[in-house]
Structure formats: structure tokens, C-alpha cells
């Protein structure tokens, strides 16, 4: 049986990649908003990628021994 946290980790990783790619595209054409110089999408994409990668690694099926 697969843990639900594995699927959450995969989804967070996918969302992180999508947001990170979008944020990298915004570097060449920044939006006209007040705080665009801080690049929040870039940091959010990296954070989601790290958290999703952690969950995916930690709850990988078959990683832990059955007791």
C-alpha cells in the first residue's frame, strides 16, 4: 500500500517545477507589479521543489522495512 504522503510529494514537486519554469520565464519579462523585484515565484518554486523532493524521497515505496 502506498502512503498518501508519497503522492503529495510528487504533486508538490510537479507544481514546484511548473512555478519555477514560469518564474524563470518572468526574469526576462518582469510583470508590472509593486514587489516584482523580489521574484516571489522563484522562491516559491524552489521551496515547493525542495519540500516535494523531501516528501517523495522520505516516503518512497519500499524504502522502509516492514516491521
Domain that holds residue 9: 1-37
**Lowest-pLDDT range of 17-21, 50-54, 58-62:** 58-62
How many domains does the chain contain in total? 1
Q: Residue 1 burial (CB < 10 Å; 0-12/13-18/19+)? A: exposed
- Band of pLDDT at residue 38, cut at 50, 70 and 90: very high
Predicted model pTM:
0.86
| Burial per residue of 34-67, b for 16 or more beta-carbon CB atoms within 10 angstroms, e otherwise | eeeeeeebbeebeebbeebeebbeebeeeeeeee
> Would 17 be classed as within a structural domain?
yes
Residue 12 is assigned to a structural domain of this protein: yes
Amino acid at each position: 500500500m502506498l502512503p498518501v504522503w508519497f503522492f503529495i510529494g510528487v504533486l508538490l514537486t510537479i507544481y514546484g517545477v511548473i512555478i519555477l519554469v514560469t518564474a524563470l520565464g518572468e526574469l526576462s519579462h518582469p510583470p508590472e507589479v509593486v514587489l516584482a523585484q523580489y521574484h516571489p515565484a522563484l522562491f516559491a518554486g524552489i521551496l515547493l521543489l525542495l519540500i516535494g523532493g523531501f516528501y517523495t524521497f522520505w516516503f518512497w515505496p519500499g524504502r522502509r522495512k516492514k516491521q
